[in-house]
Structures are given as C-alpha cells and as structure tokens.
Structure 1
Amino acid sequence: MRSFLAKRKLAPRRRWGQNFLINRGAREKLISHLEIVPGQKIWEIGAGLGAMSEMILDRGAQLTVFEIDSAYCDWLNEYLRGREICVLEGDVMKNWRAQRDKHKIDRILGNLPYNVASATISALIENRCLTPINIFVVQEEMCERIISKPGLKTYSSFSVLCQTGAIINDIGRLSPGSFYPRPRVNSRMILMRPAEPYGRIEDPAQFRLLVRTSFSSRRKILSNCLDRLDSLTKFPTKESVKEAFHAEKINLRQRPEAISPGQWVTLSNRIAKS
C-alpha cells in the first residue's frame, strides 16, 4: 500500500480522515450485509482507492461514489474505466440531494471520518434518504453515541434521532490494524434500516427542534428548557408545552438525557396536537 501510494504520488490526508480499509475479510463482510442484487443503484461515500467499489461492481450493481479528494477521483476513473460507475468529486453533503433526485437509491455504504459521520447520518435520516440497507464504518466512539441508552454520558440528541429513525445493528468491531494508515482507535460497522420503532412522528421538524433544544444545555433540568422552547415560533405557549410534559408523566426536574427515545416521540406528538 505504501509503495503504491508513493508511486502514484498519493497520500492519505489527515484533515479528511482518510484511513483505507485493508482488511479483506471485513470488506467481504460489509458486502455480504449489503445484500446486493444485480442492477441495484448503490452510493459509496469515501471510495478511496476503490477496493470496495470493485467488489460492489463485480456483483452487478450500478455505483455512484462520492470522493472528496481529486487525486483519488482520477485514480478511480482510471482503475474502474468502463464499469457502471459515476465518480463525483467533492463533499457528499453538497452533492447528495441532486443525486437523490435523479434516481432511486437502493443501498448506501460509507467509511465515514469522525468529523463528518454525525452530520452525514443525521442528514440522511432527517431527509428520509436512508435506503432499505445502509452500512457505515465509524469510529467506536461514534457508534456508542448512536446506540447509547438514556442516562449514559454518550446519550444525546443524535442518539435520539438515530434510534427513532432507524433500526440499528452493530455488526462488528474493526481494530486499528484493519486500516492504513492505522488510526488510534477501534472502529465499528453498523447497519441501519429506516423505521419508526417508537411510532410515527407527527411533526418531524418540531420533534428534532424539541430534542436538540432540550439537549443544548445537558446539565440543565427540563424545566429550564421550557424558556428556550417558548421563544421558538415552532412551539405553542410555554404552559401548553409544560402541560404536555405533565401529561406524559415526565418530571421536569429530570435532565434531558433521562428521557427515552420513545418518550420524546410521544411528548413531541402531544405538543404537535396542542
């Protein structure tokens, strides 16, 4: 890997979190979980040198890859010339909407750097862009945030968003040696399927605003969050919101991290109807 990159005058860039998955067994596991059917349209976020891309194409899929580094885009276009692949240079967050509007997407695969993982996953959930199967490789700390339970330090508004918008499965740990260059932390493979495990959210925009505003000052109790909610035009009066908390038997002297994802959904739905 080192000699190949040197020959091509390529180098992993730390600012973009480029760590290539060199563990072939892990790549095969990821491909297996994608359950690819020939003809499917698949997005790959962060294709790098194209090892995963080639395996996806070998299974008869049509692939769109998002790669922020122009040098790797040049390599992918050369290496996979003539295959069913579209290489898009640039930040996935700036390109995905236009691509989504062009055609239906069947699968998403992403090896996501820590600094963009939460924003990417949040955008896909909030805009209802999750496909039937979505697989992400993320740092272990990010995985802990995604699947965290109420009361833990890792539980956040991001945890609530993920757990109310998808069924999440942790499908395995990857040690630093699975990557080049070696990161300093373990990574995990997660599989997400779009779902509403706690029921339909009546007003998704209001729900997200409720949760994020409440978590914006983690150490404050819920009663202190009411003032911030009262100042937002998306919400009814402070008294109406307070009544919704009481109706759901949520103690306003608790902190936001004590409230389960299901409770946030029922609370939000009650507020939406008030």
Structure 2
Amino acid sequence: MPPRKRFAQHWLRSEAVLAAIVAAADLQPRDRVLEIGPGRGALTERLLSEVAALLAVEIDRDLCRQLVRQFGDRNNFLLLEGDILKLELATPLHDFPRFQNPNKVVANIPYNITGPILQRLLGTIAQPATPVYDLMVLLVQQEIADRLSAQPSNKAFGALSVRVQYLATCEQICSVPASAFQPKPQVNSAVIRLRPRSLATPARNPRQLENLLKLGFGNRRKMLRNNLKSLLTPDELSQHLIALDANPQARAENLSLEQWIALSDRLDSQPFAVNSAPISGQSEATL
C-alpha cells in the first residue's frame, strides 16, 4: 500500500532501526504497549512477540483493514481506528481489560503532529498528563530530538527543552538517516526515549513557570534583562541571577531547568500572565 501524503506517511524499512526501537523499549513479558501509527505493521510484528498486550491506534482506514488481516488472530493485539489526538482511550477499552492502562508507548509519529502528540503523552508543566507511562520510545525528526535532549548553553536548548525535561528525562538512542524510510523524508530522524518523572523540587507555581519561559525565550538573541524587563528592572534581575549562580548577562538558553524553576519561585510573590503556548514540535516562536 503506497504512503499517503495527507497522513505524512513514511514507511520505516530499516531492520537495524526497528531492532533499536524494540531494544530501547526494554520490553518485558508483562508489558502493555500503546503503539501509535502502526502503519504496515513492521514494528507491530516485533512488539507482539515480546509483550502481553499491544494496543495499536491507526488513523488510516485502509491500513486498519490490512493490520486486521495480519494480526487479527493474535490474542494480544487490539486495534483502534482513529486519531490519537482525539481518542479517549479508556472509553473503548471497557470490554478489553487486558489492554487497559498501557505502561509503555512506542511510536513512529508523523512529524507534523509531533508537538501535539508530545503534549498528549506528557501534558504541560501546569497540567501533567494522566495516566503517566513508564517509558516512551519515539521516532522523531532529528531537529526535535536535538531540542528535546539539549543541555543549557547549547544552541538547541530552548523553551521546548525546559518544558519537556520538566516532565521527563530524554535521551537520544540513535540517529536515523532519511534513507531508512520509503519514501525518503526531507530530513533525518532520531529515536528518543522519554521517561516521565516527578521532580524532587517542582515549581511552586507551575503555570507561572510556563509564562516565564514564554517571556524568557521570546527573543533568543536578547539577554534576559531585555526579555524580562516587563517584570523586573535590570538590577533586580541581576540580583536574582547572581543568587542563582547565573551570569547577570545570561540569555534564556544559559539557564538550566533547575535555575528556571528557582527563578520562577523567587518571582512567585509577583504573579504575571502571558498567553501560554502548548508544547510545539515545529518552531520556537510558537512556544
């Protein structure tokens, strides 16, 4: 079945990458896995042989028919046809207790909905997702993988990095060339592994932290003293940054996750508001 552009379909055909995804998921016989976008079932086949239950969600009706023909006789396979961004998974699973409450996610997701899927899986700083999965292995655009796993003072480190790392640890497993797909996408990809977490010292006011990130990263070329001048005078901000062991001349990308949390907490007595944006996989400007 040829890929459909409207679903941004690219078939992963590399055996090495498929094996890397399965290995990264650290599958156990008791695991219940949610697979987003099984496509033609190349990864599905490998997952089914490793886990107790596999819940697959596919939006393409023709692919659903093909998947049922391939795996419909497996007692550990259940397919839901629909949009993962709109489905309430709990509702259709009442009669299928074996597939309820997946503890892991494996997905080769369309690049054009990477941001919304991340938000569906992780939630936001102010509203973490429920349920919380133990582990997620995702195949994403290389640029997004770099931003999700970036560390402070790296040019890829931005608001998306802080938002996701607040909710989960992120590591890159391997890079994936465009030649691993049919048809070839215009960009390279990477396999990442996310482990949701609860910080030992979370922000006192998570929504304020989200707002602060939006302001702080509003213009990456400018120093924080310029981006946050609507909140603090340069001298006031310098005092806060020095107290956090940060350079008073710092830009947003120079502060670590912990320093952003601490700065938000120090400003908690003077709440402010901007229009918060959801997690985005497209452009820093939309964060």
Into which bin does the TM-score normalised by the smaller protein fall? Answer: 0.7 to 0.9
1:155 paired with 2:157, answer: yes
1:267 paired with 2:268, answer: no
Instruction: Check conservation: 1:36, 1:61, Cα contact below 8 A.
Output: no
1:173 paired with 2:175, answer: yes
Instruction: Check conservation: 1:198, 1:261, Cα contact below 8 A.
Output: no
CA distance in 2, matches of 1:20, 1:273: 51
CA distance in 2, matches of 1:245, 1:118: 31
1:120 paired with 2:96, answer: no
Aligned to 2:72: 81
Tell me which stretches of 4 or more aligned residues in structure 1 moved more than 6 Å. Answer: 99-102
1:177-216 equivalences under 5 Å are: 177-196=179-198, 199-216=201-218
CA distance in 2, matches of 1:62, 1:210: 41
After TM superposition, give the deviation of residue 43 of structure 1 in Å: 0.7
The alignment covers a number of residue pairs equal to 256
Instruction: Check conservation: 1:114, 1:142, Cα contact below 8 A.
Output: no
Q: 1:49 to 1:99 in 2, by over 3 A?
A: farther
Structure 1 portions without partners, runs of 5+? 6-10, 231-237
After TM superposition, give the deviation of residue 184 of structure 1 in Å: 2.8
CA distance in 2, matches of 1:267, 1:25: 44
CA distance in 1, matches of 2:57, 2:196: 22
1:107 paired with 2:104, answer: yes
CA distance in 2, matches of 1:169, 1:200: 21
CA distance in 1, matches of 2:180, 2:42: 13
After TM superposition, give the deviation of residue 158 of structure 1 in Å: 0.5
CA distance in 1, matches of 2:188, 2:209: 33
CA RMSD in angstroms, aligned pairs only: 2.9
Instruction: Check conservation: 1:244, 1:271, Cα contact below 8 A.
Output: no
Q: TM-score, normalised by structure 1?
A: 0.80
CA distance in 1, matches of 2:108, 2:62: 18
Amino acid at match of 1:169: E
Amino acid at match of 1:187: S
Instruction: Check conservation: 2:13, 2:182, Cα contact below 8 A.
Output: yes
Q: TM-score, normalised by structure 2?
A: 0.77
Instruction: Check conservation: 1:167, 1:197, Cα contact below 8 A.
Output: no
CA distance in 1, matches of 2:66, 2:141: 26
Q: 1:88 to 1:134 in 2, by over 3 A?
A: same
Could you give the per-residue CA deviations for residues 240-267 of structure 1, whole angstroms, max 9, x where no partner exists? Answer: x957556435566533222222211222
CA distance in 2, matches of 1:119, 1:68: 15
Aligned to 2:134: 132
Structure 2 portions without partners, runs of 5+? 95-99, 271-287
CA distance in 1, matches of 2:56, 2:14: 20
Paired residue secondary structure (2:114): helix
Instruction: Check conservation: 1:122, 1:158, Cα contact below 8 A.
Output: no
CA distance in 2, matches of 1:206, 1:169: 27
CA distance in 1, matches of 2:178, 2:265: 43
Report the structure, 1 or 2, having the larger helix content.
1
After TM superposition, give the deviation of residue 22 of structure 1 in Å: 1.0
Paired residue secondary structure (1:37): coil
